[in-house]
Amino acid sequence: MIRGVRGAITVNGNEEMEIINATERLLRKMIDDNTIDPESVASVFISVTGEITAAFPAKALRLIDGWTYVPVMCMTEIPVPSSLAYCIRIMMHVNTNVPQQEINHIYLDGAVILRPDLQNAGKQ
């Protein structure tokens, strides 16, 4: 069964290394907290808010050993007024038998406000 594993993080500015480093930090936490093997991943979608244009956050996935062939796509979020700025969101589609309520969705830094109800979801 394919499950979505969500994550989000904010950056302080539109700088290439900040975008890549933050995205890598988020990806590694999503992978570690959910024990994700790249062979079980169908695809990864990464969206950014409109202020983020200095780099493709997908470059961060290629810094992680074993993730070379996982399909990844970047896109821009819908520009909803008053939404969280400088935000990178990830949706990882993973083949797993883990029940939805046990998936660890990861929200870091300023993005914790997006889903405070999920901060301890999946943690046992």
- Three-state SS for 78-103 is CCCCCCCCCEEEEEEEEECCCCHHHC
What CATH number matches the domain at 2-118, 3.40.50.300, 3.40.1710.10, 3.30.1330.40, 3.40.50.2000? 3.30.1330.40
When pLDDT is cut at 50, 70 and 90, the band that residue 28 belongs to is very high
Question: CA triplet 28, 124, 6: central angle to 5 degrees?
Answer: 40
DSSP-derived 3-state class of residue 1: coil
**62 part of the active site:** yes
* Annotated catalytic residue within 39, 69, 74, 87: 74
> Closest Cα to residue 114, out of 88, 93, 94, 92?
88
* Annotated catalytic residue within 3, 6, 25, 28: 6
**28 part of the active site:** no
**107 part of the active site:** yes
- Where do the structural domains in the chain lie, given as residue ranges? 2-118
Q: Which tens digit of pLDDT belongs to each residue from 79-101?
A: 999 999 999 999 999 999 999 99
pTM: 0.92
